[in-house]
Homo-oligomer: A and B are copies of this chain.
Amino acid sequence: MSAETLVALLHGPDQPGLVAKTAGWIFTRGGNILHADQHRDLEEGVFFQRIEWEPSASSSAHAEVDAFQEFAGVLGMQSSVAATTKRTRVALFVSKADHCFHDLVLRWRANEFPCEIVAVVSNHETLEPVARGYGLPFYHVPVTAATKADAEARQMALLRELDVELVVLARYMQVLSAEMLTAFGRPVINIHHSFLPAFAGGKPYHQAYQRGVKLIGATAHYATRMLDEGPIIQQDVARVTHRHSVDDLVRRGRDLEKTVLAQAVRWHLEHRVLVYGNKTVVFD
C-alpha cells in the first residue's frame, strides 16, 4: 500500500536559502521528501519549486496542507498543495471527433490518470452511445451563435454542481468565452492541431498543407481569453511530405493530438505544471 504523499507547487521572488528552508520545514515536522525539483528564472528573479513528501504518520494531510501554505506565504511564495490520493474531478468536452476522447478514457481506465471523469459534455449527440458504453455520464448541451450564452450558463451550472476541477477540451469545436473561463476560474486544457504559434485559428491542417511545411504539429495549452495563445504545456510534431494530402495530415495529426493532449493532462493531474505569465514550468 502506498502511503499518502503531498505535492506542493510554489513560486515567488528568489532569495537565498529557499531550498534549505522548504526542505528543513518538512524534515523538522517528520516528513520525508520523495522528490524536490526547483527552477530559477534568473532574468525575472523568480524561484519555482515542486516538492513531494510523505508527511509524518502522526499528522493529518489536511492540517499539513494548511500549515505548508501558511509557511510558504511567510516566505513570500504563492503555493498550491495537493494530496496525491485526492483524485481530480475532470469534465471532458467533446464534439464529434472521437479519437482524443477514446484515448483519454482508455488511458484513464488503464490507470494512467489519477482522476475521476465526472462528465462528458458535448454540443452534439454523436458520442453519447460510446460515452454511455464506457459508463460515463453524458450531457448534451447544444450550442449555436444565438444560444451560446445560455449554453455556457448550463455548462457552468453543471461544472459547479459536479465540482469539476479541470476541463479538458478534447477536440471540442466551440470556443469557451472569456466570461465562461473567468466564471469557471479553474484550469481548462485545450488541444490545438498545429505547432503553435504557427497556424493558429481554424483549419490548421489546411493552412499547413498550403504553406508546404515538412512537419505538422499539435499543441496542448491552457485556454485563456486569448484564443490559441494560452500557456503551452506540451507540443510535438510529425514529418510529412509532398505525398500527404490534407486528409493524410488530418489522419497523422490525430495521433499527435492524442499523445500530446494525454501527456499534458497527465502532467497536470500529477501537479507537475506551474503557470507563470504566459508560460509553463513543467517538472517532469
Contacts and interface: CB of A to CB of B under 8 A. Distances in A.
Interface stretch (A120-128, A178-186, A275-283): A275-283
Interface in A1-52: 16-21, 23-24, 26-28, 32-43, 48
A259 B40 CA distance: 27
Contact of A37 (B32, B37, B213): B37
B32 A17 contact: yes
Contacts of A211: 197, 232, 278-279
Q: How large is the interface on A (under 10, 10 to 19, 20 to 34, 35 or more residues)?
A: 35 or more
A259 to B, nearest CB: 6
B39 A243 contact: yes
B197 A280 contact: no
B255 A232 contact: no
A213 B242 contact: no
Contacts of A145: none
A98 B112 CA distance: 14
Contact of A20 (B16, B20, B34, B215): B20
Contacts of A36: 19, 36, 38
B23 A20 contact: yes
B213 A235 contact: yes
A195 interface: yes
Nearest to A215: B235
A4 B215 CA distance: 31
